[in-house]
Structure formats: C-alpha cells, structure tokens
Structure 1
Amino acid sequence: MIAVDDGVPAPLGAHFDGRGVNFALFSEHATAVDVCLFEAGERHETRTVRLPCRTDDVWHGYLRGVLPGQLYGYRVHGPWDPASGHRFNASKLVLDPYAREIRGRIRWHDALYSHRRGGREDRIDRRDSAVYMPKCVVTAPEVPDLALTPVRRPLAETVVYEAHVKALTRTHPDIPEAERGTYGALAHPAIIAHLVRLGVTALELLPIHAFADDRFLVEKGLVNFWGYQPLGYFAPEPRYLGEGGLGGLKAAIRELNAAGIETWLDVVYNHTAEGDHTGPTLSFRGIDNASYYKLDPADPRRTIDCTGCGNTFDASHPRVMQLVLDSLRHWVTAYGIAGFRFDLASSLGRAPFAFTPQAAFFQAVAQDPVLARVKMVAEPWDIGEGGYQLGGYPRGWSEWNDKFRDAARGFWKGDSGTLAKVTQGLTGSREVFAPSRRSPLASVNFIASHDGFTLADTVAYEQKHNEANGEDNRDGHNHNVSRNYGVEGDTDDTAILALRARQKRNMLATMMLAQGVPMLLMGDERSRSQGGNNNAYAQDNPTSWMDWSVDPDPALTDFVANLLALRRAQPALRRRRFFTGALIDPDEPLRDVHWLSPEGTEMEGRHWSDDGLQVFGMQIGNDGDPGDRLLMLFNAGEGAVPFRLAPVVGGPWTPVFDTGEPAGARAPGTPAVESGAAVPLPGRTVLVLTAPGTETGNRGGWVPER
C-alpha cells in the first residue's frame, strides 16, 4: 500500500528513509510533475503519482511503502513553446537527473522525440516513450566505507594512467570470462599488479557516468564506446556492472586504494546525450530545457553548441551548478574518487557565454569542503568562441597540456623550430602557467591520450585511418604530428621497427623527465595500436581493447617501469616550483637549471634562434638539496654527437638511463665521465647522468627491470 505525503524539497532525487521514498525534482518552468512507478518486465507504469508540493521550483512528494529496487521515471507537464525555449511533453518519460542507478538501455524510436521527427520541429509528438526508455532505480542509503577514503597522494608524486574499464580488462587471460569488461575486473590482482609494476599512482577512467549510444551509431551497428554522451551524473554506466552490481565498482576502488592507487574519473558536464534542438527528450530537455541548456538569446528554440555535440550544459544556472557539485561530491563520498578530469572544461567557465576563471563554478569548487581536497584537471578548451584556455584556469586546477604533446612529438620527428617549445615543456611550461600563479604541477604532460593516435601509431602512421567509424574517414582531426619512418602502418622491416621502438622510448622519456604531472595512455607501455584510427570512440572491439596475448615490444614495459622508478628517485624531477635560473649553492656557480650546448658551453642566443638545432643538455637541481643534480642530454638528430660536459656544472657524471637501451637503465658500474670530457651521444637518444651524492637507487627503491 502506497500513501502519499508532501515530503521535502531537499535533497534532490529519490531517497529512501526506511519507510518510504522522498522524490524531489527541480523544474523552474513546469506546471506539474508526475512520478511513474514501474514493475520489472512491464511496458508501462503500474502507478502514476502527482507530486503534491512545489517549493522554490522543486517539486516534491513522499511515497510511503516504496522500497529500494523500485523502478521509476518522471513525466513533466508544462508549456510546449519551442520559440520560447520550452519543450515540455508529458507523453515522454524522463530520467531523474539525480538517479543513483539506471537500468536498461535506450531502444531508439521516433517516439523518444518530443517533436514530430522528420516534419516541423515545433509540432509536438504525443506518442508515449516509456517502453523505449531505461528506468531509474531507487537505491538504499549510502553507508560510509572507510576503505573508500581516497589515497590522496601529493600531486608532485602523481603518475596518471588513462584507461577504459572494458578496454583494459576485456581480453586478460587471468580474469574470469564473466568478469572481463566490468568494474569488478579492475580489482583483479593481474590488473593491479601491472599498474603497480609500472609505477602508476592514479587510474583515470574514461567516462563511467550512465551514457547513451548515439542513434546514428546504433543504426551502423556501432556504439559510443568512450562514453562521452551522458544520461545521468550520479549513476554508474550499467553495461559495466557485472555480477557485482554497484558494489563491484566500490570493491575495485577499495583494492586500488589498498595498492596505493587513486581512482580518477573523466567527467562530462559540458553537454548531454540529448543533442541539439532536434534531438531526443530523455531527461533534462523534458524537465526544463530553458534551465539546463544554454539557449540562443536571438532564437531560444535553438541550443548554443560550444561542445560539438549539439548542446551546452548551463553550469552558470544556480540549480544546474548545484547538480554538478552534488554529483562530484557524490562520487567522492560514495565511491572514494580522488580526482576528476573535466571534458571540454571551458564550457563550465562560461558565465554565461564568455569564459572567465572567476566563474561561479570555479569559486564554488574552491570553497567546497569536500571538493577542495580533490584533484581537479581541465581539458582546457571547447569549440566555442574563446574556448581554447590553456593556462587560463584558476589556482587549484591542473590542465591537459596539448602544447607539450605537440612539441615533444614534433621535436623527435625532426620538425624545425621545436627546441624552444620542447624545453619550455621540460621546465613545466612556466610561460603558460606562471601568469595564473600556479606551479609546474598545473601541467599534465602527455604524449598520447584516448583522443588521437596511440604512441605506437604516432611512429607508424602519418594519416588517420578511421574508415571503420563509418564516416568515410572524415571524422577525427588531421593534426597528428606523427611520422611513419618509411612505411605507413605495419611492416616487417627490422630497421624501421627498431627506429620506431627507439622513438617511442624517446617520447616517453621526454614526458617522464619533464616537470609537471605525467599521464600515460593505456597500452602505450605495450605498443598498443589502433591501426591508425585516431578517433576510435565507436570501436568496442579489438581496435580499442588491450591485447594481453601479444606484446610487440616486450622490453617497453620494463622501460616505462625503470623510467618511473628513476622519476621517483629524483626529487629534481618533481619540483613544486618553477626554475628561475637562481643559484642553488652560494659556494658554487650552480643554478637550478643550466642549458648546455654540445660544445661544452651554456646555450646563448645564437643557439636558441637556430631552428635546426636538435641537440641540447639540461642540468637541473633540486630546490631542497643542492647535492641532487641531474644532467639530461637530448639528441633528436640522426647522427651521433660528442657532447662535452661543461666544467661549470661539475662532475664527474655517471650515466644511469639511456633510451638507446631497450629497458632504459644503464648497467650498474657504468664508468663516470669527468667534467670537461665528451660523452658520445648517439642520434635519437636521451641520456640521463647523475653527479656524486645524487641518489638514484635508494630514495624510492630504484631497482631496474631486466
């Protein structure tokens, strides 16, 4: 027996208190809201209840007798007036934006659209959409779990591994077949052992908020594999639940925490799966289109598209911003998430249309007692006017540094005029981040990410090969900064394969030796290829999956592990302050950074203005210990160079890491090089040397993989 009472307007969503459920839904422009209750397997609702109260634009009611597990959705009444931005249609079942669990998948049909599809877009469609919609699930109250408390590693010690839940685990032979591709598989000892061996400290998952498969993809037999089409911001994507349900995700995060690995989420608060004004009505559009989306002031029937996905979520609206903040806090408190990477983050800083680092959203995050302790990383652009904002975010935020990616790729492929750009990246991109009073840790450095070529494809393809996406290779960008070294794609030529392997090591070394926070793409340590597809968002198949059965470059995993061990052992590689050129020891002419030419002198203007220069040295010190000194020599040219060690930087110097070696680490006992002597520096090589007193093996426990 269900009894209806007024209930309360907060918290938003459906909350069980032991006797019943309080339903609360924000809609500023609605005239009435019905909650619809469904039984499993039924096509239509078995009961509809009009929410009896409205308080501050929140519609609410208490249904005594409703229990966890109940399936539900909403029908929202209001004006059908597209010219004014209102698209209410109570014939359409809509999802609760605060639903903690969503069951089922969208079954694409024209009834999912509020307007008559294929005709006049302002003509209403009265067909019932419930049978084609997934349903929300009432969940039991969250129970605090101390094991889900984030590890909270310092940002200076962070190494990010970007991965996809299914792609990472789908083919691993040690994981039971039924568990592969699920949240629970992330907790498998084989996965955790691999991440620990590498030295990863943060696993960043591609979107796991409940998301939709675009209709045009489904009609082609494809899916939205990456998940950048959100349906709900509180519910994990159900296709990865497996037998463990919601508990499987929590169990995985507990095990990752126990291994010292944080869990980060890639989150998409810039747009939703409802597309532009001709798109379906699944949730926000039917609840209050004019509040949730940025509309064109000159023509409110249309959405403003700063995202390339048809709409832009309006985080400048107080209630929409509340939803985003509530969602973020939920993932931290209920699941133990330690960091967020914000897709197209510039959209969140538009107040209301132009980007500003003083946007209310950024201020709210900084003042929030939960979120202020969480790592925040921006993808610092969207496609709207003034959307590219690298370096423009406020203190407390880090940013994906695509300039670092392009400079490192360009330097090693032999592009002219890249030396100054790559050295800027090695120092933490001071010119980019210092104006906003941030440190090198604001720069998240990467060579490859989910979006674009993998590392292996960066050295094997010069053109994108996206034909499998069904868009005649028009999708994906053309700015790949890549080189195939003589053959496009696969080859049996041993010389080309050796060169490709060396260039992969050089780019990885450049990233891991740079100031800032390094991010490794899933599978780059195993030379994972996508066959030249630089936009594999629709490929839920071996194109995207990690192939655990084949390792084209078996030594590369050891190389990455050794490189990260060196980074852990060297505080000079993990500075919290920018280099200034200041003296670090008053008794010696040692500055925190020296730029060296192969002639044994410090680099001068003529060196920096030489667009063809491909060889340089970088000697750095730790700002807390003058004895910690590191010398890094870079040669992107094809020929060997005798690199003379300038007396000003001291010595003798012991080579400890060499990208000419498959596993990177030089054998113990490698002879030291005296100050003033020349080091043979082969072409396409990074060589790392240490000075006496600099620890490479004890601090951080550096044991080279062999």
Structure 2
Amino acid sequence: MTIKPGKPYPLGATWDGKGVNFSLFSENATKVELCLFDSSGQNEQRIVLTEETDFVWHVYLEGVLPGQLYGYRVHGPYEPQQGHRFNPQKLLIDPYAKLVSKPLEWNNALFGYKIGDPQEDLSFNDQDSAPFVPLGVVIDTSFSWGEDSRPAIPWHKTIIYEAHLKSLTKRMPGIAEELRGTYLGLASEPVINHLLKLGITTIELLPVHQHVDESHLVEKGLTNYWGYNSLYFFAPELRYVVKDSKLDPLAQFKTMVRTLHSVGIEVILDVVYNHTAEGNHLGPTLSFRGIDNCSYYRLVSDNPRYYMDFSGCGNSLNMRNPRVIQLIMDSLRYWVCEMHVDGFRFDLASALARELFDVDKLSTFFEVIRQDPVLSQVKLIAEPWDIGAGGYQVGNFPVGWAEWNGKYRDAVRKFWRADLGMLAEFASRISGSSDLYEQSGRKPYASINFICCHDGFTLLDLVSYNQKHNEANLEDNRDGQNENYSWNCGVEGPTDDPHVLQLRLKQRKNLLSTLFLSIGVPMLYCGDEMGHSQKGNNNCYCQDNELSWVNWQLSEQDEELLQFVCELIKIRKTEPVFQRRKFFHGRAIRGSEVRDIRWLDVNGELLTDESWNAGYIKSFGVYLAGDMIGDIDEQGNQVLGNSMLILFNSSESPLSFTLPKRREEKPWTIVFDSADTEFSQKEKEYPGGSSYMLKERSIVLFRGYRLNEAKS
C-alpha cells in the first residue's frame, strides 16, 4: 500500500482500479484518522490524513481493493455547550459509505458521554466504540445493466403502489423461502405477476437506506420495521439482502430495479433526509455528530448544546450548510445514476425547506433540485408536513413537485363516513384539488391521492375500527393518530355478521372507486387491494411480524375485491377523462354547449348554489365530458374519449337518480355498481332521462360512448 495525497473530490471512498481515494468533510476538526480493518473487522490500522482542502480531508491509498473495511476517528474539542462533540474514541461511519459491513450493535461505548453520569452529555466517554459500529465497505460499482431503460411513465398515467418490501413478499406464495423479504424476492415472478395483474405503473418502497433500530425498541424486543431512522444515505439496507447469494448487496438491489424496469414498472424510494439516527443531545455518536456536529445539525442558536427538532426524532439536518445540501444531492444522484431508481418520496419534506425557522418554498433545497439536470427529471414527491410550527404545507410546494394530498385523504374518508357538510370539499378533492395547485402553475398530477398509506389504518381496518388499537407497540396505546375519520360499520373489529361484512366490503369498494376515478395520481397501499388487516394498529412501525406482513390466504371477499381493483385500474388506464393533464373549468370550451365537467343533483340537473351550501347533501353526480378533455397527445392530436358519469350516495337510504340526457339521444352504459358483487358484463343501457335506483352507501359508474364511435 502506497500513501499519496489524494483529492478532495469525490467525497467518500472511490476505487479507480488501482487504489482508493478517501475524502471526508469536517470544518471544525483538528485532526482526522482513516482507520482500516481486516475482513473480520479487527486489526485496526490508523492513517493520519495530512491533506486538507476546503475543509475536506483526503488521502489516496494505492493497492487498496474493493471489500476494504474502514471508518474514521475525528479529533477536535468536546464542548457540547459550544456545539462541538468530537471524541476520537468513537469510530465513525463515512457519511458517503456505499455499503456497510453489519448492523449496529448497541453498547454504552457508542455514546460520547458516560451513560448514568450526573452531568449527562457534558461528561466524556473514553470507551472505544469500534467493536460495535458498522464499518464502511469500499465497493466496485461495475454491474451489467444490459439494455435497462427507465419506463418514464408520464405523471398523468402514473398509478403508484406503496409497499414495504418485506411486508409484500414475506408470505407471498411461490417465492422461495430464502428470497422472502429481500430485494431479489421483490424481483421474483410471483410479485411481478401480481403487480402486472393489478396494472400499477410505479412501486414506491418504504425506506431502503441502511438504518438503525432505536435502543428503546431493541430493549423491548421490537425493531424500527419501517426504516424511518436513516444514518447511511448511500448504503442499501442489509436486512433485505440474500445472505448466500452470488450477488453482492448492491448487485441484488440493481437486479431488482432492472427486473421491474423490464416489465415497465418504475421504482420510487421513500427517503429520510430530515433527521438522522443519532437522536438528540443524549443520542449516540455514530457519524455526523462526531465528524462535525455544528456543520451537520441544526442547533439551538442561544444554546447549541441542544438540537432543533422538526421531525420528532431528536434532531434536524442543517439545510443552511452547503455541504449538507451537497450530501443530500450527491445521495439522490447516486440512487438515480448508479442504482437507476426513478424518483423519490421525501419524508417530512417541510423540514427540508426550513432555512431559518419557517417553511420556505423558495429554499436552497428546492432551488438546487430544480436546476439539477438529473434530479429535475425524475419523479419528486413531498410528504408536505413536519411536526414544527407551520409545518402543514399541503399545496405550497413549488412547481415540479407532487405532494401526498392529506386533504384528499381526509375529505374522502369523511364523505364515505357520511359526515355532514362534505359536498364542496369532496368535489374539490376528486376533481384534482385545483384550489391547492392551479394558482401556482402546477398540474393535477401535483396531487398524490390516497385513502390509506403505511402510516395509519389499512383499508380494511378503516372500515372495521373506530379507535386505534396499538397495544402491541408497548406504548400504552399513546402512539399513532387519534383521529382517523374511520367507521367500523357497527361492530368494532372482527365479526361474523354477514351484513356487517358485506357493508365493509361495499365501503372499501366505494373508497377505492373514488380513488381511481379521481383526477390526480392515485396511490394504493400494499394489501388494500385484498383485505390486509393490522388488527386496528394504525402505527405498525415497529411490528416486523404478521401484523405487517400481507396475508395472501384470500377469502371469497378478498378475491372479489382484488378483481374489482384490477377492473378499476383498467378503467383508469383506458379512459382518457381520468388521465387529465389540465384542470377542469366547469364551463363550455371553445363555444361548445358541452361543459368539461358538470355537477348534478339527484334530478340530473346542475347543482345550485343553494345545494352546494346545504350541509345535508350526501348524494350527487359528476359528468365528465370525453370530448372536452383539452389535452394534446404525444403525436399532437387532440385527446378524445368516452364521457363518464359517476353517481355518489353516502347516505343510509337508497334514492332514485335521474340520468342526464346526452346529445343525439345516446344512452348510458353501466360499468359497475359497488352494491353488486361484480362488474357489469352485459353492457346494460340506460337512456338519458331515465331513473336509476342508487342504493344506500354506493357508487355507480356509467360510460357514455363517443358519439361517432361504436362500443368497443
């Protein structure tokens, strides 16, 4: 091994075929040591980095090969009151490590201070943490991607399937035991067949960055199952790796992406850059805290011993530091360029926009992404809230971003729960939420519509429980949201009552129909297409067991619902009116007498202002004109399609609905009624002006074939 000065860029450990360049940013360090270990993680060799350029410490080691294990010891003042927490007895993981050697092993030596000391973090712990921390692994980036290309699904044609990789695959029939809960398991034939059967275009994976299980969970025998406790922003999670595979962990992840791409499915990653696993001032010293606490974290200005916390997890990354912005951008580009993912969903994204204290949609974070030639071209989705003051920012993110629309979720849940006064809000949400997005120049795809997601009740639990039941989390049922806008259909939890079971099935059909017939981008939560239950637990973040793992033993009702969802998605993908790229205007277009959208009362007439303002209305219809879409396709042709009529009734009483008349006396053809067991197969026709008996708590879809085309 020959030691040379090396270069400050790129950060991290970079193998060039002859040796490895190591570089680490630390503005306030006084000395940095690179620590090399043998393949067993022992026999530490320390190399002092004598070269420092613009606060980047670097060295080149000729002869070092991929597979080399390494870490850092960083020297400097230990002055928590001043924001400095350097402690060279703590071995630190490289923030740019592309792979780590093992999971973290909790031990008191991981803490920079003495556990139990009356001075708490003001004390100094000289125990060596090296035996307990993961080590960075030098990687070889070569991989045969073949003809891999991004599916590049347009936003208006995107259908997202949110899934935890292990939950989806752990109990799925047909997957080899060793592949269950792994990257390669997600790429297996049974999973691919299910995704293709559904018709989704994009899978959004809960965090797959290497993360840390909090010590308090480990002590209870639990884990951070969801993974929202990242520390390694470049390294794939080892717990999803097949141990005895010929493929290394990175190759396994890349194989998963390549396989999904080969069948036209995009991969979006849920990423957590708002905080790290090092926690608050009493947390462990694992990486950033010991490398340069002042640079990497937001500290309380008048008492930098403590951390600003917008995530509820103890700390917040310092988005005002250019090197922190660089770290996040480098991580994102790595996952796009090297790992070929197609986009990101940003956990608690409001926290990333807090340059001072308030959320700023013109913050550096957004501006840097907007001008980036790589990141500006992938799908970017914000979870538009955090726990800080003013953190709820639905509708306020800049152009180029889509958002999880929490207002859509709440309005749809309340409408089908039969809450009063929901007509106007519900109508706004299902028609694209133009009130949130149009004025700022954004399009309907800015709204990611969802009924359920990983955080909260599953769809079956939403119609089966009035209250959360999180006792299994061992927090005395204090965790999780208290208000879920759920309705148990008359019985709390499991029941054998056939009437209640049928009502729950119909309610799920109503909710899912609303989702896939709404304007915007629909997101389906894994397992909701069948009937997965978490037994009323609305916060399964720590449940790596059958509460979280999707149950593939389907009942007759599960089979019925699955087929119903497949048909719903097929309708969405084939009917252009549900794939609009522009908002509705509710008025005639280009002199035509036909409006692009019409809101109807039960008599088939336009809703009056009095009706809109009446708080008791729970039944109405919406007419979507297929020849008034106003979009142009890729070939420059006007987008034309069938007109669609949707009837909603969330009340407890059936009613007669008068169907609106069509031009040239053309009839309506029923597509489905959620009160029936299956989709209509006979294309039954109903003339305009005729009545349809709309059953209680149901949704009905009619198709109006284009005037100049026959049925197809």
The TM-score range, normalised by the shorter chain, is over 0.9
**C-alpha contact 1:147 1:257 (8 A) present in aligned 2:** no
Aligned to 1:136: 136
Pairing 1:389–2:393 present: yes
Aligned to 1:702: none
Aligned to 1:166: 166
Shift of 1:477: 1.0
Shift of 1:651: 4.0
Aligned to 1:673: 686
**C-alpha contact 1:5 1:52 (8 A) present in aligned 2:** no
Aligned to 1:11: 10
**Closer, same or farther: CA 662–94 of 1 in aligned 2, 3 Å:** farther
Amino acid at match of 2:496: D
> Which deviations, in whole Å up to 9, do the C-alpha atoms of 1:600-644 show, x marking residues without a partner?
210011111111111011001222456631111111112111111
> Which deviations, in whole Å up to 9, do the C-alpha atoms of 1:430-471 show, x marking residues without a partner?
111112210111000000000000000000011111111111
Tell me, in whole angstroms, the C-alpha distance in 2 between the residues paired with 1:112 and 1:148: 42
Tell me, in whole angstroms, the C-alpha distance in 2 between the residues paired with 1:469 and 1:312: 25
For 1:559-574, list aligned pairs within 5 A.
Answer: 559-574=564-579
- Say what the alpha-carbon RMSD is for the aligned residues: 1.6
Tell me, in whole angstroms, the C-alpha distance in 2 between the residues paired with 1:87 and 1:302: 12
From 290, 305, 309, the counterpart of 1:301: 305
**C-alpha contact 1:206 1:265 (8 A) present in aligned 2:** yes
Shift of 1:666: 1.4
Tell me, in whole angstroms, the C-alpha distance in 2 between the residues paired with 1:71 and 1:132: 14
For 1:435-514, list aligned pairs within 5 A.
Answer: 435-514=439-518
Pairing 1:576–2:581 present: yes
Shift of 1:692: 2.8
Amino acid at match of 1:656: V
Q: TM-score, normalised by structure 1?
A: 0.96
Tell me, in whole angstroms, the C-alpha distance in 2 between the residues paired with 1:287 and 1:689: 62
Tell me, in whole angstroms, the C-alpha distance in 2 between the residues paired with 1:204 and 1:248: 18
Tell me, in whole angstroms, the C-alpha distance in 1 between the residues paired with 2:501 and 2:206: 30
Tell me, in whole angstroms, the C-alpha distance in 2 between the residues paired with 1:483 and 1:445: 20
Tell me, in whole angstroms, the C-alpha distance in 2 between the residues paired with 1:631 and 1:173: 39
Tell me, in whole angstroms, the C-alpha distance in 1 between the residues paired with 2:336 and 2:618: 45
Shift of 1:306: 0.4
Pairing 1:431–2:438 present: no
Tell me, in whole angstroms, the C-alpha distance in 1 between the residues paired with 2:141 and 2:176: 31
Shift of 1:173: 2.4
Tell me, in whole angstroms, the C-alpha distance in 1 between the residues paired with 2:524 and 2:471: 26
From 669, 672, 688, the counterpart of 1:654: 669
Task: Indicate the SS of the match to 2:270.
Answer: strand
Aligned to 2:537: 533
For 1:241-640, list aligned pairs within 5 A.
Answer: 241-242=241-242, 243=245, 244=247, 245-551=249-555, 553-584=558-589, 586-587=591-592, 589-621=593-625, 622-624=629-631, 625=639, 628-640=642-654
Q: TM-score, normalised by structure 2?
A: 0.95
Amino acid at match of 2:82: S
Shift of 1:137: 0.4
Amino acid at match of 1:129: S
Aligned to 1:88: 86
Tell me, in whole angstroms, the C-alpha distance in 2 between the residues paired with 1:57 and 1:398: 36
Tell me, in whole angstroms, the C-alpha distance in 2 between the residues paired with 1:694 and 1:633: 22
**C-alpha contact 2:279 2:313 (8 A) present in aligned 1:** yes
Shift of 1:697: 11
Tell me, in whole angstroms, the C-alpha distance in 2 between the residues paired with 1:435 and 1:384: 26
Shift of 1:579: 0.6
**C-alpha contact 2:666 2:707 (8 A) present in aligned 1:** no
Task: Indicate the SS of the match to 1:346.
Answer: helix
Tell me, in whole angstroms, the C-alpha distance in 2 between the residues paired with 1:516 and 1:698: 27
**C-alpha contact 1:294 1:303 (8 A) present in aligned 2:** yes
Aligned to 2:204: 204
Task: Indicate the SS of the match to 1:231.
Answer: strand
**C-alpha contact 2:516 2:569 (8 A) present in aligned 1:** yes
Shift of 1:98: 0.5
**C-alpha contact 2:173 2:190 (8 A) present in aligned 1:** no
For 1:107-256, list aligned pairs within 5 A.
Answer: 107-119=105-117, 120=119, 121-143=121-143, 145=145, 147-242=147-242, 243=245, 244=247, 245-256=249-260
Tell me, in whole angstroms, the C-alpha distance in 1 between the residues paired with 2:619 and 2:506: 16
Equivalent pairs counted in the alignment come to 694
**Closer, same or farther: CA 351–451 of 1 in aligned 2, 3 Å:** same
**C-alpha contact 1:102 1:134 (8 A) present in aligned 2:** yes
Tell me, in whole angstroms, the C-alpha distance in 2 between the residues paired with 1:264 and 1:154: 14
**C-alpha contact 2:36 2:69 (8 A) present in aligned 1:** yes
Tell me, in whole angstroms, the C-alpha distance in 1 between the residues paired with 2:551 and 2:302: 51
Task: Indicate the SS of the match to 1:441.
Answer: helix
**Closer, same or farther: CA 626–498 of 1 in aligned 2, 3 Å:** same
Shift of 1:585: 6.2
**C-alpha contact 1:142 1:334 (8 A) present in aligned 2:** no
> Which deviations, in whole Å up to 9, do the C-alpha atoms of 1:311-366 show, x marking residues without a partner?
00112210000010000010011111101000000011111322111111111111
Amino acid at match of 2:81: A
From 25, 44, 47, the counterpart of 2:45: 47
Amino acid at match of 1:16: W
Q: Give the % identical residues.
A: 47
Amino acid at match of 1:615: S
Pairing 1:682–2:686 present: no
Which runs of 5 or more residues in structure 2 are unaligned? 632-638
**C-alpha contact 1:461 1:488 (8 A) present in aligned 2:** yes
